[in-house]
Amino acid sequence: MTPLSSRKQQILRALVEEYIHNATPVASETLVRKYELPFSSATVRHELAGLEEADLINQPHTSAGRVPTDLGYRYFVEHLMQESALSLDEQRLIRHMFYQVQDQLDQWVRLTASVMARLLHSAAVMTPPRSAEGRVKHFEILSVTDLSAHLVLVLTDGTVREQRLLLETSTLQDELSSISARLNPRFSGLGVDEINGILLSYDPSPTERVIANAIIRILEQQSDVFFSEDIVNILDHPAAAASGLRLANEDERAERIRKVMEDLEHKRLQQVMDEIEQKRILPVLASHLPSTDGVQVIIGGENRWDEMKDVSLVLARYGQKGKVGGLLGVIGPTRMQYGRAIAVVRYMAQVMNELLADVYGCE
């Protein structure tokens, strides 16, 4: 692509920002007025024609304003946008919330997703921390009733998982403890394959077999995706419409359109979340990510996945390479506030990294 003139850049940037803000096709005149561009609307129109040629923007219909295309957003994200960092207050608030649940691991994912969703008024996704291949470090078995017990397993990567055991014969805590004492040294440091090997090489008791199977099952478990959505209050405000305030006419109109747009976007979002939940998209995401280490932006499915039309993803990995970690990010309309979204996702990934470092790896 031939590089854009600085004036074209300036105009494109203003246009994208305006559209993200207002969800209304942007007119040349508006750009000049609101962004105090040092040339006339006709000139802007000329440049807009050029940008349209380059497929960076679009006209919904002749004689309407312009709207960025996916490519336009891409250019914006890569060259024009600037990240808007979180305010210190926000950072403090987040830190504080995580401080409160620092000892409840299962809350981390929920909280992270919830924070992202709320800060960005959109939906967030996150996979819980996992490492690729797990190995047993230590486990304990707690008796619950005569015939059931609870297995807790610490992996070498530091993650803890648990599972209910249904025993075949009535077994008390003492016996479970002794089994645990017997098996722990045997399984320590091993992965799925080795444990399977051990099971073949000797004849375990029924209870031991139940335990071993549970361990294998835990090690093989896939990580699932967690969602959080900020439920925006999109309900119409008939009060506002009824009170015939026609003063702010232009603004009101824009407001109205914005409401409708956000409504549509909201529905679209739910569709996509649904599809992601059906696991149709997740594997693609995972395979797309490794390319770089920072925050990745996928705009409108980037012409590759129709399912993601009109929807953008801002994703990041967290955790160290090869160790325990996962994916986290935000799903929003293509017209999301990329600057802020990227900043938030980056920050949350960093927070997760620190939390993980605190609790898991101490090297």
19 binds DNA (CB under 7 A): no
Listed ranges 75-83, 225-233, 249-257, 347-355: which one lies at the site for DNA (CB under 7 A): 249-257
Q: Per rule CB under 7 A, is residue 240 in the interface with DNA?
A: no
- Residue 162 engages its own copies in binding (rule: CB under 8 A): yes
* Cβ 349 to DNA shortest distance, Å: 39
Query: Which residues 6+ apart lie within 8 Å of 260 measured at CB?
Result: none
Contacted by 46, from its own copies, DNA, none: CB < 5 to 8 Å by type: DNA
Is residue 145 involved in binding its own copies (CB under 8 A)? Answer: yes
Contact segment (CB under 7 A) with DNA among 56-64, 196-204, 231-239, 325-333 equals: 56-64
69 touches DNA by CB under 7 A: no
What is the Cα Rg of the chain in Å?
Answer: 27
Cα distances from 23 to residues 65, 68, 339, in angstroms, run 11, 11, 17
Least Å distance, CB 243 to DNA, is 14
* C-beta of 164 vs 253, nearer to DNA: 253
Task: Convert residues 193-232 into a mask of x (bound to its own copies by CB under 8 A) and - (unbound).
Answer: ---------------------x----------------x-
Burial class from Cβ neighbours inside 10 Å (0-12, 13-18, 19+) for residue 262 reads middle
Partner in contact with 268, chosen from DNA, its own copies, none, beta carbon below 5 to 8 Å by kind: its own copies
Q: Is 25 in the site for DNA (CB under 7 A)?
A: yes
Please name the amino acid found at residue 81.
Answer: M
- Which two structure tokens, joined as six digits, stand for 144? 């619950």
Q: What residue 283 binds from DNA, its own copies, none (CB within 5 to 8 A, per partner kind)? A: none
CA distances from 38 to 6, 14, 18, 31, 348 (A): 13, 13, 17, 11, 39
100 in contact with its own copies (CB under 8 A):
no
Residue 243 found at the interface with DNA (CB under 7 A): no
CB 132 within 8 A of CB 157: no
Angstrom CA distances, 272 to 111, 137, 258, 312, stand at 22, 38, 21, 10
95 binds, among its own copies, DNA, none (CB under 5 to 8 A by kind): none
- Does 55 interact with its own copies (rule: CB under 8 A)? no
Residue 1, contacted partner among its own copies, DNA, none, CB below 5-8 A by kind:
none
CA distance linking residue 229 with residue 218, whole number of Å: 29
At its nearest, how many Å lie between DNA and the CB of residue 30?
Answer: 6
Look-up of token digits 């409840």:
104
337 binds, among DNA, its own copies, none (CB under 5 to 8 A by kind): none
Among 52, 262, 277, 310, binds DNA (CB under 7 A): 52
Q: Which is nearer to DNA, 25 or 301 (CB)?
A: 25
Output phi, psi for 5, to 5 deg: -65, 155
Counting every residue, how long is the chain? 363
Helix axes of 338-359 and 88-100: crossing angle, nearest 10 degrees: 40
Distance of closest approach, residue 217 Cβ to DNA, in angstroms:
55
Q: Which does 30 bind (CB under 5 to 8 A by kind): DNA, its own copies, none?
A: DNA
| Pairing of the two strands 325-333 and 226-229 | unpaired
Contact 32, 44 (CB under 8 A): yes
Chain centre distance of CA 66: 30
Q: What is the DSSP string of 191-249?
A: -HHHHHHHHHHS---HHHHHHHHHHHHHHHPPPPPEEEE--------HHHHHS---TTH
Binding site for its own copies (CB under 8 A): 102-106, 138-140, 142-148, 150, 152, 154, 158, 160, 162-166, 173, 214, 231, 233-235, 267-268, 270-271, 273-274, 358-362
Binding site for DNA (CB under 7 A): 7, 24-30, 38-43, 45-46, 48-49, 52, 59, 61-66, 250, 253, 256
